[in-house]
């Protein structure tokens, strides 16, 4: 019978050399005994018993083992925990391997090595006892001069370390830098609620630092670079705030990716003991917000109303009110856009985030514009050619494309526009059909770009027109919002 691998280690002067040989021996034992085996450990020797023949015993020497990778060695043991005769034998083996691995090494060195090998290093805290490291069930005292960075390298979880209290009194040796943002100190000091703060703004800001630990914690550092406390931003509003405000203590934020507004809020808390976003609000650029209209149902799903003469008079009065305001063209156009987006009332829907020309939906009303058009048509009243003025609420894409439109015909409610004017002006009730429109048009294109003309003081003009071509005639059908219908009437009746 061929000699099994583990049997080679039972010979005199043979011994398990390292963690690799340890795994190989146990793997051989796993294969050798179908009914399992038992392991005991005494005097640095394994005593192996075949479960099928308890009188058969093998002795393997491990007294001279050298452990290079403790994690691998412990994994080998853990996988065979149930093979050991009792927990004492298992723990004795684990403790022996740990002793061999740590022999001749200082605590920080072997802890880092274990961590790098993938082993677990935990912090053990017990009331009335000094903090210890826990490794595979064995505990080691923290060396007195262990620094912040050493502890964070070994434990890894900054928040656990900070909450444990073990960092207090230890040297903070993690690189940190000044807050990278700048503030207009004179402007900040003149803000309401900030100027009368007890603390000096420049002094407070000069003692504010950041580091890249990616945690919400904050360290208070004394003149000896030692940690006097670990706090959070919320603590700056309470008793712990005094530890910073009444000394030369530096405050180091554990995150280096704070936004400027967040730093401003922290600065305000330090100065005043509370955060009312006074400083951060002062940083906001004075730009208009995007306008988002929350309509429960889009315009195209709303039923076109029947408009009474009284309601239509109210709609026309609203158009006249806007026209009477002292506004420039841009302001008036923007006001019209917003007004056409909104419902006039619960029965008179506005367009909202819907483009009636192309059908696109965009929630941001800023994406829409109101464009004015003129079309020369035969008047239904006297048979002469007249100009009909109308406006369209449309998305920005259609708005700019419309510069190339040639509108050949416009019908409203199936009528000539001038006939429509007569109808709505005299109707007691304006039916939904009178809000349905159709445009016949072509669109002109060219491949000639607009260019800069140096000889004409920077005027933009066509410099080398390419071929101009037109699309086939197309028809666009759309519905008028009631307020838009009123504008069409006012723009032509007046």
Task: Please report which confidence band the pLDDT of residue 454 belongs to, taking 50, 70 and 90 as the band edges.
Answer: low
Q: Provide the b/e sequence for 441-453 (b: ≥16 CB within 10 Å).
A: bebeeeeeeeeee
Looking at residues 313-317, what average pLDDT do you find? 95
- Considering only CA atoms, which of 165, 397, 181 is closest in space to residue 279? 181
Partner residues linked to 18 by β-bridges: 66
Three-state DSSP string of 286-298: CCCCCCECCCCCC
Asked if pLDDT for residue 238 goes beyond 80, the answer is no
Asked if pLDDT for residue 296 goes beyond 60, the answer is yes
Q: What distance in Å separates the CA atoms of residue 258 and residue 252, rounded to the nearest whole number?
A: 12
For residue 133, what pLDDT is reported? 77
Asked if pLDDT for residue 129 goes beyond 80, the answer is no
Instruction: State pLDDT tens for residues 211-229.
Output: 988 888 999 998 888 888 8
Domain ranges of the chain: 5-102, 107-164, 177-283, 299-493
Asked if pLDDT for residue 252 goes beyond 60, the answer is yes
The structure tokens listed for 469 are 């071509």
Asked if pLDDT for residue 464 goes beyond 60, the answer is no
Task: Please report which confidence band the pLDDT of residue 198 belongs to, taking 50, 70 and 90 as the band edges.
Answer: low
For residue 104, what pLDDT is reported? 85
Task: Please report which confidence band the pLDDT of residue 487 belongs to, taking 50, 70 and 90 as the band edges.
Answer: very high
DSSP E strands, 145-279: 177-178, 208-210, 218-221, 227-231, 250-253
Q: What distance in Å separates the CA atoms of residue 20 and residue 331, rounded to the nearest whole number?
A: 81
CB 218 within 8 A of CB 254: yes
In the chain, the percentage of residues whose pLDDT exceeds 90 is 45
For residue 2, what pLDDT is reported? 67
Mean pLDDT of the chain: 86
Distances (CA, A) of 213 to 111, 217, 252, 322, 393: 20, 9, 11, 57, 52
CB 281 within 8 A of CB 261: no
Asked if pLDDT for residue 89 goes beyond 60, the answer is yes
């Amino acid at each position: 019978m061929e000699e099994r691998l583990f049997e080679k280690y039972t010979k005199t002067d043979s011994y398990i050399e390292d963690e690799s040989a340890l795994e190989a021996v146990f793997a051989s034992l796993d294969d050798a005994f179908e009914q399992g085996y038992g392991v005991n450990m005494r005097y640095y020797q394994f005593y192996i018993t075949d479960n099928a023949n308890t009188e058969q015993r093998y002795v393997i020497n491990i007294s001279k083992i050298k452990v290079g990778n403790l994690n691998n060695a412990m994994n080998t043991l853990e996988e065979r925990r149930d093979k050991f005769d009792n927990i004492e034998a298992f723990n004795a083996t684990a403790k022996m391997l740990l002793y061999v691995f740590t022999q001749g090494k200082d605590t920080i060195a072997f802890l880092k090595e274990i961590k790098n090998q993938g082993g677990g290093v935990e912090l053990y805290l017990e009331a009335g006892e000094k903090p210890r490291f826990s490794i595979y069930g064995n505990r080691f005292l923290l060396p007195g001069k262990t620094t912040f960075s050493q502890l964070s390298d070994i434990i890894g979880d900054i928040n656990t370390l900070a909450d444990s209290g073990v960092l207090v009194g230890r040297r903070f040796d993690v690189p940190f830098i000044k807050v990278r943002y700048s503030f207009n100190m004179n402007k900040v000091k003149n803000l309401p609620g900030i100027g009368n703060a007890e603390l000096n703004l420049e002094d407070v800001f000069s003692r504010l630092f950041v580091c890249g630990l990616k945690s919400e914690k904050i360290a208070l550092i004394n003149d000896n670079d030692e940690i006097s406390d670990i706090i959070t931003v919320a603590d700056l509003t309470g008793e712990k705030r005094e530890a910073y405000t009444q000394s030369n203590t530096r405050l180091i934020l554990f995150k280096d990716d704070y936004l400027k507004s967040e730093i401003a809020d922290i600065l305000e808390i330090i100065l005043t003991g509370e955060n009312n976003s006074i400083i951060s609000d002062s940083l906001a650029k004075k730009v208009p917000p995007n306008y988002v209209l929350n309509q429960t149902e889009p315009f195209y799903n709303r039923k076109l109303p029947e408009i009474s003469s009284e309601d239509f008079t109210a709609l026309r009065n609203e158009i006249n009110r806007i026209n009477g305001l002292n506004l420039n063209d841009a302001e008036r156009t923007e006001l019209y856009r917003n007004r056409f987006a909104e419902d006039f009332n619960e029965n008179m829907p506005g367009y909202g985030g819907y483009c009636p020309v192309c059908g696109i939906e965009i929630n941001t009303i800023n994406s829409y514009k109101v464009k004015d058009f003129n079309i020369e048509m035969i008047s239904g009243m006297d048979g002469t050619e007249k100009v009909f003025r109308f406006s369209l609420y449309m998305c920005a894409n259609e708005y700019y494309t419309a510069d190339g439109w040639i509108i050949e015909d416009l019908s409203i409610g199936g009528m000539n526009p001038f006939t429509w004017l007569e109808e709505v002006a005299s109707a007691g009730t304006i039916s939904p059909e009178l809000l349905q429109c159709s445009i016949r048009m072509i669109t002109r294109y060219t491949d000639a770009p607009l260019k800069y003309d140096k000889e004409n003081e920077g005027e933009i003009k066509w410099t080398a027109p390419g071929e101009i071509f037109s699309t086939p005639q197309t028809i666009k059908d759309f519905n008028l919002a009631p307020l838009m219908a009123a504008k069409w009437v006012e723009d032509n009746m007046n």
